[in-house]
Amino acid sequence: MSRGNGLKIFSGTAHPEFSKRISEELDIPLSDIKHYRFSDGEIGVSLNESVRGSDVFIIQSTCYPTNENIMQLLIMADAMRRASAHYVNAVIPYFGYARQDRKAKPREPITAKLVANLLTHGGIDRVVTADLHAGQIQGFFDIPVDHLTGMKLLAAYFKEFLHDELKSGNVVVVSPDAGGVARARKFAVMLDTDIAIVDKRRSYDVANKSEVMDIVGNIKDRTAILVDDLIDTAGTICHAAKGLKERGSGKIYACATHAVLSGVAMERINKSEIEKLIFSDTVPIPSEKKSDKISVLSIAPLFAESIRRIHNEESISNMFE
């Protein structure tokens, strides 16, 4: 049994290569849509085929430029709804504003909730995303949210890449801060190894700035894998790598699902103690941000399978058992 009269996939302009990969995995061509701008900069879209009664999936990462990509997603959803699509699903590989999920100090917004409201009231029936910065963001929505993870993809890479060292017990998974301990523990279980934690102090007077304080766990002469959900300015991950090296760690690798890489990120990464950094392809990496230290794995097959299961009304959770 499937939903609607047929499955259609539309791509936003945030990451068209990712949309194409999903299309190829599902062996379904991308549906025809025209993206354009009016002379004053306003965004416009035109659907060049019927979506009446269809199960529609809009693929759009809300990465940089975040505001533009969110607005385009909302406009696309409105076009689908007004064209009588049966279901409108937003596939958001990287969910922007996820770090603004609480009030860190007085008189601040909770922007992740605001974005959830905009998507819900903008006519979207379901959201599919990966590795939200805070899992509780799922509860900000009044519609179903399928929360995928790139951790298995990244773990599979290291199982092969560090096979001998893992077998000898010389690898430790490291959380770059206390907030990522649960993620690091799950990753360590996948690799059948133990974890260490970087205890850091963050300065809230300066955004994206933190200071390494201490490391909990045995990292002496061991290969370390730093694990995070995203890397933005790379301050946290590079400071953690420096702290590990200063305290006697062996080779240091790092991985994250989302390659946000803003500001001075590439300068920090290229100068850091990190040997290799592995990302998924939820965010496009422009040519000027590519580096010999960075490798990208495609998470598109996971998203494609989730789309297929949603359309066929099959279980998503079974994918992770």
Q: Which residues are catalytic?
A: 200
Tokens of 301: 């097959």
Taking the C-alpha atoms of residue 95 and residue 62, their distance in angstroms, rounded to an integer, is 6
Tokens of 116: 């959830």
Identify whether the C-beta of residue 139 lies closer than 8 Å to the C-beta of residue 91: no
Query: SS3 for 182?
Result: helix
Taking the C-alpha atoms of residue 229 and residue 183, their distance in angstroms, rounded to an integer, is 8
Q: Report strand pairing: 194-202 vs 210-216.
A: antiparallel
Q: Among 88, 109, 93, 110, which residue's Cα sits nearest to residue 101?
A: 110
- Residue 24, CB half-sphere, CA atoms under 13 Å: how many? 10
Left if phi > 0, otherwise alpha if psi is -120 to 50, otherwise beta: which for 43? beta
